[in-house]
Each structure stands twice: as C-alpha cells, then as structure tokens.
Chain A
Amino acid sequence: MRNLWTIARREYKLYFISPVAYVVAFLFLLVIGYFFFSEVTTAVAYSMYYPTAPGVEILISPMVTLILFTMPALTMRLVAEENRTGTMELLLTAPVKDWELVVGKWMGSFLFALTLLAATFIYPIVLNFLVDPGIDQGLVFSGYLGLILMTGSLLAVGVAISALFSNQVAAFFVSLALVLAVWIIRPAASATGTGSDVLSYLNLVDHFLTFYRGTIDLSDVVYYLSLTTLGLVLGTVFVEIRRWR
C-alpha cells in the first residue's frame, strides 16, 4: 500500500510539470466551457420558442468524447518513458512488486484525471443557478460516476499499452487506436448481425448509456471495474515479460 502511494504521488506531481498534461487540462476546462457557454446562450436566445432548459447532458456528452481521446495522452508516458531512459532498472531492482509499480502508476494518472473531473464540476454548479428549478442532481451523480469509472478503465488499458513500449508516441497511438476500435465496435456489430451481442457488450461507450440516463446499472459498473482490472493485470504481465526478455 505504501509503495502504491509513493509511486502514485510521484506520477501525480509530475503531471503538473508536464506540457502534455496542461494541454489535456486546457481541453477539459476550456472546450467543455465553450460547449457549456454556447449551449446556454443558445437556450437563452431561443427560450421563447423552446422553453426547455438545458440539462447536465450538455456537459456529460462532450466530456465522454474528450475522455476517450485524451486519456491515452495521460498514460502514454507512464511506463514507456521508464523503459526508454532505463529508469525501469531502478524500479525493478528496488524492493517493489511489479504489480505495485503498475497499479501505483495507474493511481497517479487516475488522481490527476479525478482532479480534472473535479474542476469541471464548476459547470453543473453554475448551471444549477441558471436554470429553474435547478438541475437533475441524480443525473449529475450517475453521470459523474460513469465518467469516473470509464476514466479509470481507460487509464488502466493505457498503462498496459505503455508497458509494452519504450516509445511514448507509439504507446499513445496504439492506445488511441484501441479507443477508436471500441468506439466503432457497435456499428460493425450491427452490420455483421452475428455476435453482435458480444461485440456490443465490449463497447466502452454503450455501458455509459445507463449512467447518461440517470440510472446506475450494476452490470455496467462491473464492466468498467473488470476492464480496469484486466488492464492492470495485463500491464503487470507486460512488465514481467520485459524482465525475462
């Protein structure tokens, strides 16, 4: 436990001196802010024709897209850079278990992502003041829970991919390709017809839909937690394989 925290803390701090992390933070806060602002002003302008007030959906759905595309940028460096510079030799000869290393790094990235998500929480609060009688708080809760779960699983997969490479750019593109793959799984599945159940079960975004509707389905929670575990186990295996190479 102590090692996890030591490793996570180092990674977390490192994000605050990393340009990549600032770009991600910028995208999160400003792009979401832009969507928020334009949705709200449009709603105000057309309020006489469409008297429905904007809900938290205007925030959650761009955040899903942003998370899918930016999480690989947060994880690409984690193990690949240690492989490249040789600092992996320090960690692998320190009294730290391989899984502690992988989970600790994941924790560091997760904490940073949570910080970003927490910062975006300003928008629902503002929205709550703007609309009458306030926003759907159940939806805010389930939406953010879903975002957190999805983020955790994407980061775990990203750490595993990073452990495969000693080049962080390669790790980024492979992670991104994987994200795109799960993104398009559903259209492909409906086209083929057969096995569509299995394929759509794998779809990362489909499992978000229940959260997006304001409900929490245990099977979707289990899906994200399993994916997170799978990523962390694979990451550990990849680190182990490097030792034997």
Chain B
Amino acid sequence: MIEVEGLTKDFGARRAIDGLTFNARQGEIVGFLGPNGAGKTTTMRILTGYMPPTAGTAKVVGFDVTEQSLEVRKRVGYLPETVPLYNDMTVYDYLKFMADLRHLAEAEDRVLEALEVVNLLDRAEGYIGNLSKGMRQRVGLAQALLHKPEVLILDEPTIGLDPAQIIEVRKLIREIGKERTVLLSTHILSEAQQICDRVLIINKGRIVAEDSPEHLQSRLAGAQRVSLRVQGDADGLESSLSAVNGVQTVVARPDGTWEVETIPGIDTRPQIARAIVQAGYDLLEMRAMGLSLEDIFMELTREEPEPPAMDETEAEQVEPEPEQETVEEE
C-alpha cells in the first residue's frame, strides 16, 4: 500500500530525509519512531502530496505521489502534526467542508459518523476555536477518517489526549489497521509497542532499525537481567547466586537490591529463586528487566560516538556513506 524507495528531501542545504526505503502492506500498522528532527513529518508530508520529494519515489495505493498526486490524496486520510483547523468554523461545518471537497456521497451522515467515532457529537455545533487541545486533535482525526481512506497517515495522533482518549484512539487505530494501512509517528515508545505491527526507527533522515517491536527487543537485548530483593542481611548471597547455572554477573546495588545478569536465551529465574531459598534467605521480590524499547531507541539514535554498551547485534545499522557530514559510528 505504501512503497517508498530512496526518498530524499532537501531544504536548501539541509537534508531532512536521506534515501528512505520502506514498505507498508495492507492491514499493517507501521510506527515511525525517531527523535525530533529525524524527518518523520517530512516523510509524511511527501506521502500525502503536500510537498514533492527531491529524489526517490513513493507510491501510495499504487499511485505515484508526484505524478498522480490527486489520486493519492483521494485515498489517504491525513492528520498533520500541527492539527491545522479553521477556528472560525463550527466542528460540523468544518467537517462538512472537508467532506464536500472529497465529493462524499451523503456527506452529512459521514460527518456525523466520524464525529461519533471520535466521541465529539455533543460539540458538533460549537466553534473549533473554543475547543480544548485534545478535542481539536479529535476533530483532526475525524477529518482524516471522513472518507474511510485506504491509507491513514497520522502524525503523532495521541499527543495532547487524556488517558481515556489515548486508549480509545489506540483502540480505534488498531481497529482501522485490521483492513487498512496505517502509518503513524510517535515519541511514545510504549504506544508503538502496543499498537504497531512494525516499527521503523529513523534518525537523521535514515532508517536505523526496522522490525516488530518484540523482535527488536529480543534481538537487541543481548543479556537478560533480573532484579532481586531479599529480606534482611544478605552477606553470603553473592556466592550462592553466582553458583547458579547460567548466571554471569551478580551486582549488589546501593538501594539493597541485587542485579543478576544471565546468559541470553534461557530463563534462570526458577533456579535463582530456589538457590536463594535453599541458602536460607527470604525472597521478597524478583523482576525480569528486559532491555526496554526506550533503551533500544536511545542506543540507536545516540548522538555522541560511544562503543555499544553490551552487544554487537546492531544488525540494522545502515552502511556508512562517506559523503555524509553526519558522524556515524560503527
């Protein structure tokens, strides 16, 4: 549904995106993850026909975004990052206007339907200028859904929403993503984890990793770590823990908890628990600490040249290109 190849966009001398290549299939929810200025919005603006790319091609529902821009725009629903809306129109009038621009049959019904989906029917007659930020966000979302588009492009869709609405919107996106294609950007990693089938981590205009959230986590988490707390004095604990098969390091942390690192692939928690009890200690708490998506994200988009902390499995690193002025380390 979305096919992007070698997409590049320059703003004057600044290269905002640099040879992006990715695909999104029908019924797939793809998350765009990356720090500020990574090029997420720029990519989305090209895909929605707002601006042409400097180089490369992008196809949406089989239509080229530059050559057949109108065809693309007919089939895409877009929620821009800034959620631009006409403050001097009522919610209903605004959506009706956008529906008319799309030549929708039964525009009134479509508008009411979209308002119901985003839970804003009671504000239909109110002016957009009087809405709260989260409500504006929902109006923007309703606009993107009006024509039941085949491809939905959402730039930070849940920003500014209250927790209840965040849950609603995520549910909605998952629902839509069952038959249609959704490309969304977010800074909330747990959100990407919850709703996306696949995440693209993008940094300085390049894709640095691309996989399902679970795969990224398991692939990049080299070792597994377990955090423990035992009751009272635990002097001899270190030696008992080290004796457990599969345990690599044992570290006593100043707050009284213990951190055990084990070899990847096997779960040693039962053995560790048994060892503690057999050694005569009372186990209060045990927690597995996977490498979070946050850690992975920080790892992949880190600025300063630093050796990789604990693993060499950054298989997704793009090949370094000498002509780029950005400092890329291996």
Given A10-B97, A95-B101, A95-B102, check contact A90 B52 (CB 8 Å): no
Does chain A have a CB within 8 A of B67? Answer: no
A-B contact list, 15 entries, CB within 8 Å:
A6-B101, A7-B101, A10-B89, A14-B88, A85-B84, A86-B80, A87-B84, A89-B50, A90-B85, A90-B143, A93-B73, A95-B101, A95-B102, A97-B70, A245-B51
Select B82's contact among A86, A94, A245, beta carbons within 8 Å: A86
Q: What is the interface of chain B, defined by CB distance below 8 A to chain A?
A: 45, 48-52, 70, 73-74, 76, 78, 80, 82, 84-89, 97-98, 100-103, 143
Given A10-B97, A89-B80, check contact A94 B51 (CB 8 Å): no
Does chain B have a CB within 8 A of A49? Answer: no
Alpha-carbon separation in the docked complex, A96 to B73 (Å): 9
Closest CB-CB distance, A236 to chain B, in whole Å?
A: 15
Q: What is the interface of chain A, defined by CB distance below 8 A to chain B?
A: 2-3, 6-7, 10, 14, 17, 85-97, 243-245
Alpha-carbon separation in the docked complex, A244 to B45 (Å): 12
Select B102's contact among A87, A89, A92, A94, beta carbons within 8 Å: A94
Residues A6 and B97 in contact, CB atoms below 8 Å apart: yes
Residues of A with C-beta under 8 A to B98: 90, 94
Residues A6 and B100 in contact, CB atoms below 8 Å apart: yes
Residues A87 and B73 in contact, CB atoms below 8 Å apart: no
Residues B51 and A90 in contact, CB atoms below 8 Å apart: no
Residues A92 and B84 in contact, CB atoms below 8 Å apart: no
Select B78's contact among A3, A87, A93, beta carbons within 8 Å: A93
Closest residue of chain A to B48 (Cβ to Cβ) is A93
Closest residue of chain B to A101 (Cβ to Cβ) is B101
20 other A-B residue contacts (CB within 8 Å) besides A91-B101, A95-B73 = A6-B97, A10-B97, A86-B84, A87-B86, A89-B82, A89-B84, A90-B85, A90-B143, A92-B50, A93-B48, A93-B73, A93-B76, A93-B78, A94-B73, A95-B70, A95-B74, A95-B102, A96-B101, A243-B51, A244-B52
Alpha-carbon separation in the docked complex, A6 to B102 (Å): 10
Residues of B with C-beta under 8 A to A87: 84-86
Residues A244 and B51 in contact, CB atoms below 8 Å apart: yes
